[in-house]
Amino acid sequence: MTALAQQNPFSVHTPEDMLAPDVVSLFVDVFTDFYQIPKSGHTFLNGPRGSGKSMMFRYLQADCQCLTLGAQLWDLPFYSAYVPIKNTDLKITELARLHARHADVILNEHIMTTYVAAKVIRSFSTLDITDDNNQFADELRRYYRGDFVSLLDAGGFDTTSLPLIPADASLLAGFRIVGDVLDAIYRKVLLYLRRLSFSPNDLNYSGPLLGYLDFLVPFIQGLKQLSFMPRGPVFLLFDDADNLNDTQTRILNGWVSSRTSGDISIKISTQLAYKTFRTTTGQTIDSPHDFSEVNLSTIYTSSHDKYRDRIAEIVTKRLKNHSLDVSPDIFFPPDSEQENEIQSLAQTLRDRWSQGQGRGFRAGDDAIRYARPEYIRQLRGASKSGHTYSYAGFDQLVHISSGIVRYFLEAASQMYAEQQARMNSGALVTVIPPFIQNKVVREQADRFLFSEFENILKDADEAQLNRAAKLRNLILALGGLFYETLVSDRSERRVFSIAFSDTPDQELRDVFALGIQYGYFHESAIGNKEGTGRTKLYILSRRLAPYFTLDPTSFAGYRFVTSDVIRDAIARPKTFLSRVRNGVINADTLESGQLPLLSQEEL
């Protein structure tokens, strides 16, 4: 058992820093859902921070794959090299000196190529490759002296003073020397950038220039020929590619468009803020022509059971690593008093259905649809006496985490820490009391809507500020509307989504896009109102359910709305909600014959 087991079982670790045994013991295989990722071909993997992208990339790396499959390196179906794009690794401020001036594309491509090549070489440093007769080390040495030197020569690098790989050097030592050479090339361009800091006109660069097609592709193809390498493709795992600057993003798109996926498949993770899908020549790359696309939150929004099963498996594994053999439902129990009352209401609804007073096709339909909303309705006004809806229970917690694994784990980690603090030192936490579960998810909902939103609202750009203010109003209006719907007499009360019955303009689409980027909305698709095609469905994040007192357990219901209604809700959310409550706006159609003119927007 590694050190992980001694900590909070729900602690979130940076996957990059985790050892292969820990990754394999904690990872839940999701590649049946995301089958494109471990297959040959370029793939974009989009999802908010914490949705499990980096963990997937870590699991795809060779040390984890060897452990999982019980195989040697050369038996693996593919080889993966992790290419993290940290904030200031590639996005160096001095590069702005080159923008639209001097070999901007060529120098950025050289920087990226060298960086990726070095990361590929570094990926071997964590592998334990058995090389009894130094056969592999010999192969690497020959490759280094032959193809590698030729490629560097062609790129303009002076290879006369290259270090030699000694005949008795191990494979690892050989890779270290190759890595040092690539580091030296990278260092040279960094020195050039340093010179640019305060000398905007001193642009002459005399170092080597390495590109994707003329260096990186043949470099990797050469490595693939070494007998310890897998026969399948090499995956370049670009993690957090949103951190590339605009030029670098266009260069990467050019790589994606270059159809090298048989040998090299580029897997790109983004946090939904990828700068552009255009290449340096202005052309676009498109799915599925150039790449396949996986949107994590969309998949989990449309298939909740898969997500629940995945979280249950993650929790079970983590508890087991912590010597706790207990199911997630037992570890995170619901508020039993509340559940009993909801069950009692469900029974009443079933009885009514039997007496011919039901609304659904089956008695069970009415119980599922209306028991929990009815319970929440009965609490309306009672909250002042301290009686509020409890969001405890594994199922509710899964729903509230809204398709993002880290949201579940962070909440669970905080609950665990709070319960541990209440117990005697050394005692084992075997259950999280409902009141702690409820308290933590409520605090997180408040933080999500207020503290985290403040950061967006204060963004400097005037256009973004305006859009963020509209987004906040949109969330408040829709959250309020969904609550009013929940406590109404409508046949479908558990609504969390809207779809447009007309075509929203760019301004509205931009507001929703911002909401999706920051995780306040998810995007899916449904049949349009006319039944002639598909239209976008915008789903409010279930993380907000505790703030608006919504039932998080179902998201089947949605409302069709017009652009005018949403525009009105964004401009005047309080007025909009008060008109819904007062019946001025028809709660079913969300339409009003006479909208009073208001001079002041509530922005």
Give contact residues for another protein (rule: CB under 8 A): 14, 16-17, 49, 84, 86-89, 91-94, 96-97, 114-115, 118-119, 121-122, 179-180, 182-183, 186-188, 190-195, 197-198, 200, 206-207, 454-456, 458-460
The encoded tokens of residue 529 equal: 């109102």
Going by C-alpha positions, the residue among 561, 454, 553 that lies closest to residue 501 is 561
What residues contact residue 158 under an 8 Å CB cut-off, 6+ apart? none
Going by C-alpha positions, the residue among 225, 232, 227, 221 that lies closest to residue 130 is 227
Cα–Cα distance measured from residue 90 to residue 175, given in angstroms and rounded to the nearest whole number: 23
User: Closest CB to another protein among 195 and 306?
Assistant: 195
The encoded tokens of residue 590 equal: 């969300």
In the complex, least distance from residue 179 CB atom to another protein, rounded to whole angstroms: 5
User: Closest CB to another protein among 121 and 171?
Assistant: 121
What is the gyration radius of the CA atoms in the chain, in angstroms?
28
The encoded tokens of residue 401 equal: 């985490």
238 in helix, strand or coil? strand
User: Closest CB to another protein among 27 and 186?
Assistant: 186
User: Closest CB to another protein among 189 and 478?
Assistant: 189
**467-471 LR contacts (CB < 8 Å, sep 24+):** 467/510, 467/511, 467/514, 468/514, 469/603, 470/511, 470/570, 470/603, 471/511, 471/514, 471/515, 471/518, 471/520
In the complex, least distance from residue 459 CB atom to another protein, rounded to whole angstroms: 6
In the complex, least distance from residue 310 CB atom to another protein, rounded to whole angstroms: 23
In the complex, least distance from residue 77 CB atom to another protein, rounded to whole angstroms: 26
In the complex, least distance from residue 375 CB atom to another protein, rounded to whole angstroms: 37
User: Closest CB to another protein among 462 and 489?
Assistant: 462
In the complex, least distance from residue 112 CB atom to another protein, rounded to whole angstroms: 10
What residues contact residue 113 under an 8 Å CB cut-off, 6+ apart? 210, 211, 212, 215, 216
The encoded tokens of residue 522 equal: 């998810």
Beta strands in 382-511 (DSSP E): 495-500
Q: Which helix (DSSP H) or strand (DSSP E) does residue 472 occupy?
A: helix 462-486
User: Closest CB to another protein among 119 and 439?
Assistant: 119
User: Closest CB to another protein among 183 and 341?
Assistant: 183
User: Closest CB to another protein among 16 and 365?
Assistant: 16
- Fill in the DSSP letter of residue 589: T
User: Closest CB to another protein among 13 and 536?
Assistant: 13
527 in helix, strand or coil? strand
User: Closest CB to another protein among 36 and 114?
Assistant: 114
Residues in the chain: 603
In the complex, least distance from residue 496 CB atom to another protein, rounded to whole angstroms: 28
In the complex, least distance from residue 456 CB atom to another protein, rounded to whole angstroms: 8
In the complex, least distance from residue 440 CB atom to another protein, rounded to whole angstroms: 15
Write out 171-231 in H/E/C secondary structure: HHHHHHHHHHHHHHHHHHHHHHHHHHCCCCCCCCCCCCCCCHHHHHHHHHHHHHCCCCCCC
Cα–Cα distance measured from residue 335 to residue 332, given in angstroms and rounded to the nearest whole number: 10
In the complex, least distance from residue 94 CB atom to another protein, rounded to whole angstroms: 5
- Bridge partners, 265 (sequence order): 235
In the complex, least distance from residue 119 CB atom to another protein, rounded to whole angstroms: 5
User: Closest CB to another protein among 33 and 94?
Assistant: 94
